[in-house]
């Protein structure tokens, strides 16, 4: 179930909504002013969790923070 970002055309607020199916997208209303005049906003997605399988090498240790003083 995707989470979409919307912008209300009445009050201008942005909000997120969990949408279960394509038919539910027509029934989205603004949680602030309850207007049905909403538009899907452009959003980016994030990846969380394990980086395994993403082609990232996590076995390389991070460089140490030497201050140069002895």
Given a cut of 60, is residue 52 above it in pLDDT?
A: no
Q: Look at residue 35 and tell me if it is in a domain.
A: yes
**What percent of the chain has pLDDT above 70?**
50
Q: Look at residue 64 and tell me if it is in a domain.
A: no
Identify the pLDDT of residue 64: 67
What is the CB-side half-sphere exposure of residue 45 using CA atoms within 13 A? 5
Domain tally for the chain? 1
Give the chain's mean pLDDT.
76
Q: Look at residue 61 and tell me if it is in a domain.
A: no
Question: Would you give the DSSP letter of residue 25?
Answer: G
Q: Look at residue 62 and tell me if it is in a domain.
A: no
Based on its alpha-carbon atoms, the radius of gyration of the chain, rounded to whole angstroms, reads 21
- CB-count exposure of residue 19 (10 Å: 0-12, 13-18, 19+): middle
Q: Look at residue 63 and tell me if it is in a domain.
A: no
Confidence (pTM): 0.54
> By residue range, what is the domain housing residue 11?
3-40
């Amino acid at each position: 179930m995707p989470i979409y970002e919307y912008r209300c055309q009445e009050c201008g607020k942005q909000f997120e909504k969990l949408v279960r199916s394509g038919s539910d997208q027509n029934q989205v209303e603004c949680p602030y002013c309850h207007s049905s005049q909403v538009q899907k906003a452009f959003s980016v997605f994030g990846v969380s969790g394990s980086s395994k399988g993403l082609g990232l090498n996590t076995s390389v240790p991070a460089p140490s923070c030497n201050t140069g003083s002895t």
